[in-house]
Amino acid sequence: MTAAAATLLRTAVELTAYAPEGERAERAVVMTMGALHEGHASLIQTARAVVGPAGQVVVTVFVNPLQFGEAADLDRYPRTLDADLAVAGAAGADVVFAPSVDEVYPGGEPQVRISAGPMGERLEGASRPGHFDGMLTVVAKLLHLTRPDVAFFGQKDAQQLALIRRMVRDLNFPVEIVGVETVREADGLALSSRNRFLDPYERHTALALSRALFAARDRLAAQQALHARAQTTGATEDRAAGLTRLGEARLAADAQAVARARPDKGPAAVRAAARAVLDDAAAEQPPLSLDYLALVDPADFTEITDDRTAGDAILAVAARVGATRLIDNIPLTFGATT
């Protein structure tokens, strides 16, 4: 049996009437700009699992003009509402709330907006000035309009997720924010509504983003495994030299690698592994044009120094392939030994 499409609501009045006061089943919201794909479906499925069959799952579809620096980018953003209703319903949503611009901003662009602060000026904020102010403003409005108990956002937009969590904490919004793991296509490319703009050659180049992140993750895991061995075996440069004198070249090379696996080299190794992949992609046809590669603290998105030996981090990348700008990231933990 085919799942029913989600109910379409266009106004705040309709949304309020759909959930009258007194019926306080737990409500989850998944905020999107439409053009729904499997990544959005994963968010909706997670929301349904959390609130259960008795709860409500509301998906918002709103292409927010405050987030776009250029009118051409706003006009180019795909609108696929009929398909979105089907995807949302199949994934478990009850309602798609798709208001007009006039419904969200009845007096025109708002005079009072949420400021993203210093974190909103880094990375994506530096590349797209004002983007995060516009994003937080509409998220705040949609939280007020939908009144959820819990809201779900994808970790692919890691800086956005961090800023929403900070806004909710700093401004005392009564909602729990949950991040959901990035969904990837079989070849590793992070799912995005912008992927549809890539031709086959551009898509091949774009795979460098995820390959760079995975290379960095694997380099860190290998280095931390070697460091763990050094802690247990006592491998030293002197031992490696002794094995070399005995003609044990393979054992000597292994001992030397273990001895040199210092924890304070982790950030540099991560950056180098990712950079090597991205540099190769810059020579592809079509080339990858790197915007940034940054290893940051997930709390405030400040750059992590090369002497970091423990703690969580996010390796984030943004680049253009042809006319399409893509972002991706991966969480890392320094100091892990398993």
Q: Is 296 helix (H, G, I), strand (E, B) or coil?
A: strand
**Alpha-carbon gap, residue 26 to 93, rounded angstroms:** 13
**Alpha-carbon gap, residue 250 to 186, rounded angstroms:** 37
State yes or no: cis peptide before 286, omega within 30 of 0. Answer: yes
Angle at 192 between CA 188 and CA 198, to 5 degrees: 80
State the pairing for strand pair 311-321/288-296.
antiparallel
- The residue assigned the tokens 């898509």 is 203
Q: What residues contact residue 1 under an 8 Å CB cut-off, 6+ apart?
A: none
State the pairing for strand pair 311-321/324-334.
antiparallel
**Alpha-carbon gap, residue 285 to 270, rounded angstroms:** 26
**Alpha-carbon gap, residue 251 to 291, rounded angstroms:** 42
Residue 40 among the catalytic residues: yes
Element (H, E) at 149: none
Between the CA of residue 321 and those of 35, 130, 191, 332, 337, what are the distances in Å? 20, 23, 15, 26, 36
- For residue 264, is it left (φ>0), alpha (ψ between -120 and 50) or beta? alpha
Tokens found for residue 307: 């002497």
Active-site residue among 40, 144, 204, 227?
40
Hey, which residues are catalytic here?
40
